[in-house]
Structure 1
Amino acid sequence: MLKHPFSDVPYEPHLSALLRGIEIYDREHTLGEELQKYNPNNAEDREKIINLYILPALNYLSYRHKFVLIKNLENALLKRETDFNLLFESDYDDPRTIAWDETEIKDAYGFFERILKNSKEKWHNDLIKAASEDQSEW
């Protein structure tokens, strides 16, 4: 069974992990201000957000973790009823705060679709390696 990095807890990929790189709680005056220079609804800015903040924040994951997370994202995108806007919502019981809330993201589905495309390009070799293994042995 695949475990969380650095622990013995079973790894369950959550789509919210894909937004870790743009979480600004307690970093509003540093990362938050930096991210406000970008418009997540603009195609060029979205590319920068994904390639400069989102994907690098996941570099701590092994190739197996990346594979499982991306498979989870693929499955969620196939289910058209998945509400990706919820991932941008503020939860007052959770200190996690995303740089833009659900009212500022015009196409949350498209945002995650782009994360999928970019991650498949950037992590191509890792994803191929993991796919070639027997996942039941993890």
Structure 2
Amino acid sequence: MMLRGPFLDERFEPDLMWFVGVFNVYDREEILGAKLEVYDPNKWSDQVELIRKYSLNLGYLTYRHKLVLLESLADKLNDNSYDFQGLFDTDEDEAASWPRGEWYELENPRGFLEHVYKLALEVWKDELVKAASEDRSTW
């Protein structure tokens, strides 16, 4: 068995865009963009609120998905060559945009994801313990 995606009946790929893509305001500038533009993604207190409200508010992911996603994030945080800024880069051909200019060149994109990791350990604690206690071969 293998863990399946929450939307498609395919193998779940723990992409870090699950944490970052929630800030994509393309075609939602007037609603989501207006909510997000008041935050400075480089400011610690704003990051905490953004991460808690958006990055970790992934109700469509099960506790198993959350564990696998967080393990993937831990692996990337342990890889000094991983390009965290690449998560925030947009291509002209993509239907993607960020709420403010600061999102395109964060002062510390790795630090932002480190904050995601630390807060996820706290916010998802019970779910992570539950998933870690299961036999993954049954997923």
What TM-score range do you get, normalising by the shorter chain? over 0.9
Higher relative contact order (CA 8 A, sep 6+): 2
Partner of 1:28: 29
Contact 1:38 1:45 (8 Å CA) reproduced = yes
Partner of 1:59: 59
Q: Hey, which bits of structure 1, 4+ residues long, moved more than 4 A?
A: none
Distance 2:132 2:73 in 1: 15
1:71 is the counterpart of 2:71: yes
Distance 2:11 2:38 in 1: 37
Contact 1:32 1:99 (8 Å CA) reproduced = yes
- Structure 1 stretches of 5 or more lacking a match? none
Partner of 2:104: 102
Give the root-mean-square deviation of aligned CA atoms. Answer: 1.3
Kindly state the Cα deviation for residue 99 of structure 1 after the two structures are TM-superposed: 2.9
Distance 2:96 2:69 in 1: 19
- Structure 2 stretches of 5 or more lacking a match? none
**TM-score, with length taken from structure 1:** 0.92
Paired amino acid for 1:5: P
Paired amino acid for 1:121: E
Paired amino acid for 1:89: D
Kindly state the Cα deviation for residue 123 of structure 1 after the two structures are TM-superposed: 0.5
| Residues 29-79 of structure 1: CA deviation (Å, up to 9, x unaligned) | 1111211101011111111111112211x1210000000000000000000
Work out the number of aligned pairs and report it.
136
Kindly state the Cα deviation for residue 136 of structure 1 after the two structures are TM-superposed: 2.4
Paired amino acid for 1:115: V
**TM-score, with length taken from structure 2:** 0.91
